[in-house]
Every structure is written in C-alpha cells, then in structure tokens.
Structure 1
C-alpha cells in the first residue's frame, strides 16, 4: 500500500482558478487586476531579483501564503462571486505564478 502525500493547496487553487485564464482574452480589467496581484505577490514573497525576469517564487513560501489566504477567506465565510473580487484576482494570480513557474509536479493517475 502506497501512502501518497496529501495534495498541496496549490493543486486545488490551480484546478479552480487556472480556467479563469481564458477570461484574459475578453476581460482586460480582470487581466490588469491579476497582473497587479502577481506583482504584489512577487514583492511580498521576496522573489524579485536583479534581472529583468524575476525568479520563481519559492513553492513552500507560496504554499504557506496560500494557506493563510484561504484560512482568512474561510474565517470570513467568503463565497466565490460570479465576477471578480479581490480574492478571485489574488487566487488567479497565485494560480498564474504556479503555472508560469511549474511549481506543481505533474500528477500521476493511479
């Protein structure tokens, strides 16, 4: 019997919010808001570097941040709205960073 590690919250965030990337094609305000959240996350997680292209965020640090953010949402009984609020933009930005930097290893089906 193989004991698989529990999935990281990053997997669920990507599963839920990566499909929103398709909205970038027709929602320029959403795209701009997510871009601002990505920039803020990079600053907050200290992943900015001296080069033109910032290095990827540390996976563990991003996971800790995501867990804290999700806990805060749970405490306020947040429910995902139809449109785009602060939380949707932040979670989509987290998903974007995960996808961009390949922070989740490919999942194998068993």
Structure 2
C-alpha cells in the first residue's frame, strides 16, 4: 500500500505516521529481528484495542491510540532516531497494522 499525504481521512493522525514510518517496513528484508519486534508490537497494540478474537481493528481506535502515544512522545521530547528504539518500533508496527487492515482506504 502506498500512503500519500492525501490518502485517508483529513486530519487522521495515521496519515502522518504512515507517511513517516511506512518506509521502514522495507527494512524487513534486511533485518529479521525487526520483523519479530514489529510483530510483537503490532500484537500488543491490537490486543489493547480489539475486544475479542473476532472483532475488527477500527481506524478510529488506532488513530486515538496514536494521538495518545505521540502526545506522550512530544511531552518527553522524543526525536525519531536513525535506528530503532521502542517508540520507532511501535510506530512502525502501527504502519504495519494500517497496511494489513487497509485502514486508510475505508
């Protein structure tokens, strides 16, 4: 999925996050450890947001999560690293969820 600044609903925080972090998914081919880390983070986010095994991940819920998460990062003065820290992996996992659940086209 290609995400441009014009894709997704206007004002949705997922648009900015995917524009910034979606390119990191291409590093999966070179970093097997990254695949495992992103998978674990994606599972943790999904488990926190989806009430049951058959329930669907909703764009609104993930957007609210991202707003809260990035607010805390801003309050703490976080800057996106060249490599990966907890926050960068978590935001990359959000991009993976957006892509896998096609959350910006619905």
TM-score computed with the length of structure 2 as normaliser: 0.85
Query: Contact 2:17 / 2:91 at 8 angstroms: preserved in 1?
Result: yes
Equivalent positions of 1:1-110 (< 5 A) are: 6-46=10-50, 48-50=52-54, 56-105=56-105
64 and 56 in structure 1: CA distance in 2 versus 1, 3 angstrom threshold: same
Root mean square deviation, CA, Å: 1.7
Unaligned stretches of 5+ residues in structure 1: none
48 and 18 in structure 1: CA distance in 2 versus 1, 3 angstrom threshold: farther
Q: Runs in 1 of length 4+ with deviation above 6 angstroms?
A: none
Unaligned stretches of 5+ residues in structure 2: 1-8
State the 1:45 CA deviation: 0.6
Query: Contact 2:50 / 2:56 at 8 angstroms: preserved in 1?
Result: no
Query: Contact 2:18 / 2:95 at 8 angstroms: preserved in 1?
Result: yes
CA distance in 1, matches of 2:84, 2:78: 13
TM-score computed with the length of structure 1 as normaliser: 0.82
